[in-house]
Amino acid sequence: MRTRLDAVVQVRERAEEKALRQVVEAETQAKAAHERAEALKQIAQQDQRKPGDAATWELAETAHVRALSDARKAQKEAERIAAEVSKVRVVYTSAHQRAEVVRRVAETRRDEQRRDIERVEEKALDEVASLLWYRKAG
């Protein structure tokens, strides 16, 4: 059975699906950023100094400082994306709740329509039964 709310349900469900896709994309980005941050952290923790002259040590130290800086930036980026994931989840939760409310109302309306149809059918059957009883009795 169709109700006038079916169009609203479809719109809300599309919004819910879009929000869910955004959550999935944001979580994928967050996972990639976290993995990148962990990889850069592992690189920064390695000691690249090897026996050699001062220029080699200075180059290794510069690379280490750069690796630490990259690791910090990647960690901050991962934290920023994790915050965005939280925001996107809130948007999805809101969209899901709105869609669920409209779905429930539409289902209630369908139940009411079914009951109305059943009442009409019962009334018609009662009238037929009454006519048959009167015809038989009379």
Tens-digit pLDDT profile for residues 33-75: 999 999 999 988 887 777 778 888 888 888 889 999 999 999 9
Instruction: Identify whether the C-beta of residue 25 lies closer than 8 Å to the C-beta of residue 37.
Output: no
Instruction: Identify whether the C-beta of residue 22 lies closer than 8 Å to the C-beta of residue 80.
Output: no
The pLDDT value recorded for residue 50 is 76
Domain ranges in the chain are 6-137
Band of pLDDT at residue 25, cut at 50, 70 and 90: very high
Dihedral angle over CA of 107, 113, 114, 115, nearest 10: 110
Average pLDDT score, the chain: 92
Instruction: Tell me how far apart the alpha carbons of residues 122 and 33 are, in angstroms, rounded to a whole number.
Output: 64
Q: Where are the alpha helices (DSSP H) in the chain?
A: 6-45, 54-137
Counting residues of the chain whose pLDDT is more than 70, the rounded percentage is: 99
Q: Which residue has the tokens 């993995």?
A: 35
The pLDDT value recorded for residue 129 is 92
The pLDDT value recorded for residue 2 is 84
Instruction: Tell me how far apart the alpha carbons of residues 135 and 133 are, in angstroms, rounded to a whole number.
Output: 5
Tens-digit pLDDT profile for residues 101-132: 999 999 999 999 999 999 999 999 999 999 98
Average pLDDT, integer, range 9-18:
95
The pLDDT value recorded for residue 108 is 94
